[in-house]
Amino acid sequence: MTDIVAAGGVPASTPSSAHQPILSIRDLTTSVSTGKETFDIVRRANLELRQNEVLCLVGESGCGKSITALSVMRLLPTPPVRVRAGEILYRDRNLLDLPAQEMRKVRADSISMIFQDPLTSLDPVFTIGSLMTEVIRSHRDVSKATATDMTVAILREVGLPAPERRLSSYAHQLSGGMRQRVMIAMALVLDPEILIADEPTTALDVTVQAQILDKLLEAQSERDMSMLLITHDLAVVAAVADRMAVMYAGEIVEQAPVDELFEDPKHPYTQGLLRALPHASAKKEKLIPIPGLVPPPQMMPAGCHFAPRCPHALSRCWEEHPEFETIDGRSFRCFNPQSFVHS
Ligand SMILES: Nc1ncnc2c1ncn2[C@@H]1O[C@H](COP(=O)(O)OP(=O)(O)OP(=O)(O)O)[C@@H](O)[C@H]1O
Ligand code: SF4
Ligand SMILES: [Mg+2]
C-alpha cells in the first residue's frame, strides 16, 4: 500500500518517544534582498532532529546548509538575509517568535553551534581563558575559580594538550586544530541539548579531522545530545550519521536513515552524489562528477530545481515543482524516483 504523509517525512503514526523530534524545521524559507529584488536561498526546508541522534546535512557548496543552521540560531546577517516563512520548533516553541532575550537564553542553555570558521568566531582580543570563563559566568551563577575549573576540564575533555597553559593564549597563537577544539569546548561547556556543527573539521588536515570528529561524537553520546552535523564528506556521514538529509539549491530533496539512503537512494541528485564517491571495494579511483552547475538563486528553473542536471527528467519536471513527500516510508522531492544500481 502506498503511504503518503505530510512534508517533514515522519508518518503521524510513529509516536515512540525516542523518535520524537527535539527540533523541527517546517517549511523554512530564508531569502536575501539585493536592492529591489528578493531571492529565496532556502526554500520550504523540512528537517527533523530527534533525541540523541546524529543527523547529517549534506549538499554541494552554496546549497543553503549554513543558512539553514544560522536560521535556527537566529544569527543570520539581517539585512540582507532573513527568514521569510516557516517555523522552527524547539520543544513546541517556535524559535522564530521568541523575543531576542529568550533566544539568547536558548543559545546559551539549549542549542549551541560550532561555526565553519573558528578564527572569525573566537574574539582575537581576549585570551581563551577569559573568553570561556565569560561565556560560563554570563549564564551560570558560579565564581571565577569554578568557571576556570570548568574551562580546564572541558578543554581537557576535547583533547587540548596542557589546557592550564592555554588559558592565557590568544586564538591566533593556536594551531587550526587547537582552535577548533576550543570552539567545541565553548559549544559544550554549558551542556546543550542540541549541537549544530557546521563543517567542524573541513579546514584541518586529515588526521586532526578524525581526532576532532571522534571527540565530538564521544561528547554527543556521553551527553545524550542531539547533533546536526553539516558536512560535504560522505565518508564521514557513513561513519557517524543515524539519519541523513540531502540539500540541493536551497531545498531538502531527500531524508532517510543513513543505511537506507546509501543502500537505496531515491532522488537522482542523491544518486549522483553517491556515484561521485570513490568506491573502495571496486577500487575505482576516479570520481564521477555530476554534470552541470547548481543554478544561482536568482535563476532557479520554474519546475524542479535539479531538472537541468537530471538524467531522468520528465516533461512535467520542467513545469511543475515537486513537493517533499513520504511515499512507502521514503521521503524525497521527485516526480520520477529511481532504483539505484550499485557499481
Ligand atoms: N550574507 C549573504 N548575502 C547574500 N547571499 C548570501 C549570504 N550568505 C549566503 N548567501 C547565499 O546563500 C546561498 C547559500 O549559502 P550557504 O552559505 O548556506 O551555503 P552552504 O551550503 O553552507 O555552502 P558551503 O558548503 O560552501 O559552506 C548561496 O547562494 C550564498 O551565495
Ligand atoms: S523531479 Fe524530475 S527533474 Fe527533478 S529530480 Fe525528479 S526526475 Fe529529476
Ligand atoms: Mg556553509
Question: What is the arithmetic mean of pLDDT over 82-87?
Answer: 97
Ligand 1 pocket test, candidate residues 37, 57, 63, most atoms within 8 A of CB:
63
Question: What is the arithmetic mean of pLDDT over 322-338?
Answer: 93
Q: Has residue 145 got a pLDDT over 70?
A: yes
Beta carbon of 336 within 6 Å of any ligand 2 atom: yes
Q: Which residues contact 66 (CB under 8 A, 6 or more apart)?
A: 116, 198, 230
Q: Which ligand is nearest to the CA of 34?
A: 1
CA of 261 to the centre of ligand 3 (A): 22
pTM for this predicted structure = 0.91
Question: What is the arithmetic mean of pLDDT over 185-194?
Answer: 93
Near ion ligand 3, which residues have CB within 5 Å? 65-66
Greater pLDDT, 157 or 317: 317
pLDDT-derived band at 154 (thresholds 50, 70, 90) equals: very high
Q: Which ligand is nearest to the CA of 333?
A: 2
pLDDT-derived band at 334 (thresholds 50, 70, 90) equals: very high
276-299: per-residue pLDDT in tens? 776 544 444 456 778 888 888 888
Greater pLDDT, 97 or 293: 97
% of the chain residues with pLDDT over 90: 64
Question: What is the arithmetic mean of pLDDT over 16-34?
Answer: 86
**In terms of DSSP H, where are the helices of 233-324?**
234-240, 258-263, 268-275
Greater pLDDT, 116 or 245: 245
CA of 271 to the centre of ligand 2 (A): 12
* Distance between CA atoms of residues 87 and 186, nearest Å: 27
pLDDT at residue 275, as a whole number: 85
Ligand 2 pocket test, candidate residues 336, 338, 339, most atoms within 8 A of CB:
336
Name the residue with the closest Cα to ligand 1, atom 16: 64
Q: What average pLDDT does the chain have?
A: 88
* Distance between CA atoms of residues 185 and 305, nearest Å: 39
Let me know: does 209 contact 20? Beta carbons within 8 Å.
Answer: no
Q: Has residue 190 got a pLDDT over 70?
A: yes
Strands of 37-50's sheet in order across = 37-50, 21-34, 81-90, 93-94
